[in-house]
Structure 1
Amino acid sequence: MRRIPVFATLIVLAAVALMIALGFWQLRRLHEKEALLAHYAAAQRNPVSVEWTSRGVGEDLLYRRAHLTCTSVAERSSIAGQNAAGRSGVAQTAKCTLPGGGTALVVLGWSLQPNAGDWQGGQVTGVIAPGPRLVAVPALGGLEANGLPDPSDLPNNHLSYAGQWFFFAATALVIYGLALRRRGQGR
């Protein structure tokens, strides 16, 4: 019977330990993500509107109702989006200049055509979406209503990622065990 190769065994065991650590890290991320999603869901239910100031808004305010004053539209663009009924089309956006400086991206509304709608600024109410951007409610500039951001749309795949890392670790051990067995048989 041949000796077990020390260096190769240490490398495999280090790799397996790393994969197991990554699996446990994903489990910790699972709990963090669940807490974050619960925070976002509570923010979504909060009826109090926050002010979007020249300093912007933090991630802790995502999915809250908000309002801002757009003193002027610095830039208009279109991005892929869905309307309130879930139909795909184009979300019309405006980069707004805020009182006191700073800018905010406002999703004005939805249409089938790019660069639709006519809006030159003013008061905006809506929901803070990731980006951050303010999705106008109601839609502005004669556009249709956008679909509202929903924290339940955010993926929480950490449990499956943890399972993958544990599976990779087990697979590495099985393959290495088979390699050692074959080596011991002299093949």
Structure 2
Amino acid sequence: MVALGLWQLLDRLPAKEAYLAQLAANPARPAVAFPRAPDDRLLFRRTYADCRPPVAVARAGAGKAGFRLIATCADGIRVQLGTTRDPLGMVAWEGGRVTGWVSHAPDATPLIARLVAAPAPQAMLLVADRPVAGLAPNTRPDIGLVPNNHLAYAVQWFLFAGIAAIIYVLAARRRR
């Protein structure tokens, strides 16, 4: 347990902080073409793409914002067009040039499948900076929403080790 605490503190925490620093710098970097393959180093970076028809639009939950409308273009690019509070809300969109930010697409993989199968890279999503007519704007990607729990995990492992040591001492005393 102590080794796991040290691993979280000395390895995982610095790596996550470096990754978060990169993500925080990405919005100020020059725009890139939307990535065709998953690349988490590009998250929050400005991007652009041409969405070719035919386009299929689906809804996905967006928490307090209601529902996200996500278009899947003929070339496989997924674009978050905007949000709506209407659970049946839909738009007709023919595609075209889109600008915005690189983000992760929603993942509907069931938990049991994630436990059994090897993890696959999460698909990328272009979050449009201007919504389609009739939709509310998308929120900008927020670095504050990326969890960094490694210090808490380290403390947790050290506490577990301390509790185990106390239990061992009490058991050894009782045995005498």
Q: Which runs of 5+ in 1 are unaligned?
A: 1-18
Indicate whether 1:125 and 2:125 are aligned: no
Deviation at 1:56, TM superposition (A): 3.4
- The alignment covers a number of residue pairs equal to 156
Write the letter of the residue equivalent to 2:66. Answer: G
Give yes or no for the alignment of 1:112 onto 2:91. no
- After superposition, residues 65-76 of structure 1 pair within 5 angstroms as 65-76=46-57
Q: Structure 1 183/57 Cα, relative in aligned 2: closer, same or farther at 3 Å? A: closer
Does structure 2 conserve the Cα–Cα contact (< 8 Å) formed by 1:64 and 1:127? yes
Deviation digits for residues 46-72 of structure 1 (CA, Å, limit 9, x no counterpart): 2x211125x335211110010000111
Which of the two has higher C-alpha Rg? 1
Change (3 A) 1:167 1:159: same
Unaligned runs of 5+ in 2: 106-123
RMSD value, Cα: 1.6
Choose the corresponding residue for 2:7, options 12, 21, 25.
25
Task: Say if 2:13 is the partner of 1:39.
Answer: no
Q: Structure 1 residue 142: deviation in Å?
A: 3.2
Residue 142 of structure 1: aligned partner: 134
> Is the Cα–Cα contact under 8 Å of residues 67 and 84 in structure 2 kept in the other structure?
yes
Relative to the length of structure 1, the TM-score reads 0.78
Sequence identity of aligned pairs in percent?
Answer: 40
Indicate the SS of the match to 2:72: strand
3-state secondary structure, aligned to 2:160: helix
